[in-house]
């Protein structure tokens, strides 16, 4: 028990956010941050616009995707979406599983900010995840 308490304490000292429970839910507000997750834990990334590319892991042997990314939209004029098409209203979500100890970076990019409207500069989502046993 003492060893686990020390590991959790070190986790909080050396990383801005830790997940002793083994699961993380991340979004744009977590961009450029670092996190720790336990071996076997899950990291779910939800980005709030359907123009985001599918989030990917830099080290899939450490943080492996659990299936493909999913995209959802409540529909035009519903759920807070404008009644015109082309806004990218909705989410892109992907879950990763912590397969082995090590580090990985989850990234996604977005070059389009609306129908026929390029993001200037292109947008980038990036978080560092450290997997611990």
CA 17 from centroid of its chain's CA atoms: 14
User: 87 is in which domain, residue-wise?
Assistant: 2-132
Q: 97 and 64 in contact (C-beta within 8 Å)?
A: yes
Beta strands in the chain (DSSP E): 17-19, 23-26, 34-38, 42-47, 56-57, 63-65, 70-72, 91-98, 102-114, 117-132
Q: Which of 41-45, 74-78, 84-88 has the highest mean pLDDT?
A: 41-45
Q: Could you read off the pLDDT of 10-49 as tens digits, one per residue?
A: 444 444 455 555 799 999 999 999 999 999 999 999 999 9
Helix-strand-coil split of the chain, %, nearest 5 = 10, 45, 40
Domain count, the chain: 1
CATH code at 96? 2.60.40.2020
Instruction: Name which residue leads in pLDDT, 50 or 116.
Output: 50
Residue 73 has pLDDT above 90, yes or no: no
pLDDT band at 74 (very low <50, low <70, confident <90, very high): confident
Q: Round to whole Å and give the CA distance between 98 and 109.
A: 22
Q: Could you read off the pLDDT of 98-127 as tens digits, one per residue?
A: 999 999 999 999 998 887 789 889 999 999
Residue 129 has pLDDT above 60, yes or no: yes
């Amino acid at each position: 028990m003492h060893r686990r308490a020390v590991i959790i304490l070190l986790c909080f000292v050396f990383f801005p956010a830790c997940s002793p429970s083994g699961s993380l839910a991340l979004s744009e507000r977590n961009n450029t941050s670092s996190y720790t997750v336990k071996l076997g834990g899950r990291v779910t990334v939800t980005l709030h616009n359907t123009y985001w590319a599918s989030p990917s892991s830099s080290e899939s042997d450490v943080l492996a995707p659990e299936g493909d990314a999913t995209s959802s939209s409540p529909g035009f004029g519903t759920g807070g979406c404008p009644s015109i098409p082309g806004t990218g209203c909705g989410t892109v979500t992907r879950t990763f599983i912590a397969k082995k100890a090590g580090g990985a970076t989850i990234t996604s990019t977005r070059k389009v900010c609306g129908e026929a409207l390029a993001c200037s500069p292109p947008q980038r989502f990036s978080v560092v995840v450290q997997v611990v046993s």
